[in-house]
Structure 1
């Protein structure tokens, strides 16, 4: 079996020095769809260096990402890229992200779960700079065909969205070239660019990165319910429930706590692909904020 669970969990954490600057932040924001309209005052917060703030989901690509899936995630793990999908992502912010910075990322395999027909690998990253912790993240990697080894199934979180109508609904168009632009931030998996490779993985054409949908959703929620104030975000978690094809439209439904996002609380979101009868894209999505 390509996954040696005991070896993966026993491996020493890997420490990596990472750095980023305003150009990396700008590229990331463009990669998740910022800049429409190009001269809009609210969009310039994402696209103009003199007004720039950092959407917290940038943490998923800062310094090239938390160990991009390249078939060599760590000791004890050797997987086929064509069998890999992103299962879920959780991000905890300890303070607002700077426009430029240098930090140390400490990464480890936190868990390996047996889902029967697949394995789920949880990659954990802790990132800190000279001033202390910046963010923590759990990156869940779903590997088809690698389950059935008798391990724990792992937790099953299913926070249901409220039964009432959404407080806000926003449609986010995905450009035809969105995946080609987003991959420049560090995820070079050919699944998102090469039609032949996508076909080997069972897709009609290349699919959008899950983390691109993740970032686009956080931007939509921030701009719609949090007044565009990225510093209010404290954590952001989701489960990737389905794929998105470049050129489609994301429909983001949002439910805020009783004050509509004006004060501390949480926002629940659900994301679907409009053109495919609102097929689920992101589920179990929760943003906690001040």
Structure 2
């Protein structure tokens, strides 16, 4: 069996040092669409080194793509083809604001393996600490088509209830034709997002946008729209990737205020509001 759940769960964690600079933070922000308009003071918080703040979702690429989907496929007990892999969801807990420059230790392990029948879901957990203590914890849900059916634990089946009533705010965010090509420079070089031939092999008409790019664009929209542009208010952020996004499309981001949280739904306008992100929650102070 290409996925040996027992071996994957029993494997020793992988630990390594990661580091990042203001340039890495700026590149990430540009990769998720920051800097438009280029002279807007609110956008300069993401692009100008003298005013730089770090959007918490930068944690998903800190250190040049610190452990994510591709690295999870190299863990013991996991031998699958990249073309059958999709990023199923992402959760992030921020223990304190991310510095604009840092060196930290990242420890990763397979925290869970779920048997969904026609697919397997791996949960890759990464815990990051620096000299001052814990910085963040991230869970990447890796969906592997055709690898289920061994009779293992199916995992959680409950999902958050849909938010009631009309959204408190709705914004639209255009995606550049070259957005995936820019975003991948932060460390995720999966050819699915750049190579048309590989995309067709994986079942798509053309390269798709990184799910984590949509993830970052959405968090930025929430911070800018409902949290006063204050990135330090974010405490956690989780989502399920419900559909793909193609470069050149427009995201519709709907937001509902709740006590201590914002519920979010994201869709692709050009495809009749096809769902993109679901079960999305930003917890904040």
TM-score above 0.5, yes or no: yes
Distance in structure 2 (CA, Å) of the matches to 1:109 and 1:65 = 17
Distance in structure 1 (CA, Å) of the matches to 2:128 and 2:268 = 33
- SS of 2:113's partner is strand
Match of 2:245 in 1: 244
- SS of 2:91's partner is strand
Count, aligned residues: 284
Matched, 1:152 2:134: no
1:2 Cα offset (Å): 1.1
1:202 Cα offset (Å): 0.6
Match of 1:262 in 2: none
1:94 Cα offset (Å): 0.4
Q: Which runs of 5+ in 1 are unaligned?
A: 259-264
1:193 Cα offset (Å): 0.2
Distance in structure 2 (CA, Å) of the matches to 1:56 and 1:157 = 26
String of CA shifts for 1:233-285, please: whole Å, max 9, x gaps.
Answer: 00000000000000000100000126xxxxxx000000000000000000000
Match of 1:222 in 2: 223
Distance in structure 2 (CA, Å) of the matches to 1:195 and 1:173 = 22
Maintained 8 Å contact 2:68/2:124: no
1:16 Cα offset (Å): 0.8
Match of 2:46 in 1: 46
Distance in structure 1 (CA, Å) of the matches to 2:112 and 2:161 = 25
Maintained 8 Å contact 2:60/2:68: no
Match of 1:120 in 2: 121
- SS of 2:70's partner is coil
RMSD: 1.0
TM-score by length of 1: 0.96
Maintained 8 Å contact 1:9/1:111: yes
Distance in structure 2 (CA, Å) of the matches to 1:60 and 1:4 = 26
Does 121-130 or 73-82 show the bigger shift? 73-82
Structure 1 consecutive aligned stretches of length 4 or more whose deviation exceeds 4 Å: none
